[in-house]
Structure 1
Amino acid sequence: MQDLMKQIIDMDRKARQITETAQQEKVDSEKEIQQKREEIRQKYLEEARRRISKNEPKERAAAEAAWVEKKKQSKRLSDRMDELYRDKGDQWVEQIVAKVIGE
C-alpha cells in the first residue's frame, strides 16, 4: 500500500514537473515569437526607409521637372493673354463702355 501511494505521489510529481516544463516552454516560445515578429517588423521598416531614401531624389527631380513645365505653360498663357489684350484691348473697352451706357 505504501509502495502504491509512493508511486502515485511520484507519478503526480512527474506529471506536475512535465506540466511545469511544458508551461515554461510555452512561455519561452511566445517570447521567441514576439522577438522574431519584432525583428521582422524592424527589417521591413529599414527596407522601406532605404527604398524611400533611394527614390527621393528621383521623385524630387520629377516633381521639379513637372513644376518647371507648369511654370512654362503658365507663362505661355500669360503671354498669350497679354498679346490678346494688346490686339483687342481697345475694342473690348469700347464694347464694354457701349454696353454700360446702352448704345
Structure 2
Amino acid sequence: MADYLTVSTATETREQAVALAQSAVRARLAAGAQIIGPVTSVFWHAGEFGTSEEYQLLLKTSGRRYPELEAHLVEHHPWGSPEVCATEIVHGAASCLDWIDRSTAD
C-alpha cells in the first residue's frame, strides 16, 4: 500500500460530514479532513439512476492507518454501504507528509 493517501467519501448533510471528519481525526486515523459541498452527484445505486446533493469528505492518512480509517468510516457512516475510496499521494511537500506521519501516530 502507498505511504500516504487521500481518502474520500460523501454524506447527505454537512453535519454528517463534520461528525465523520471529527471522529476520524480525533482517533488519529487521519491527519486532517476537508469538506466540500454541496456537490452534485450523478450515480447508479441499487439498480436505479439518481442525482443528489452531497458533501464530499477528503481525509489525509498514512498507508498503515488506512485499514483502520476505512473500518471507522464504514462503521460510523450514516449510509449502510458508503463509498470509501483511497488515492495515493505520489508527491507531497516533506513538511506535509511529516505532518501526516506525526498526526496519525499511534
Higher helix content, 1 or 2: 1
TM-score, structure 2 length as denominator? 0.17
Larger Rg: 1
Higher strand content, 1 or 2: 2
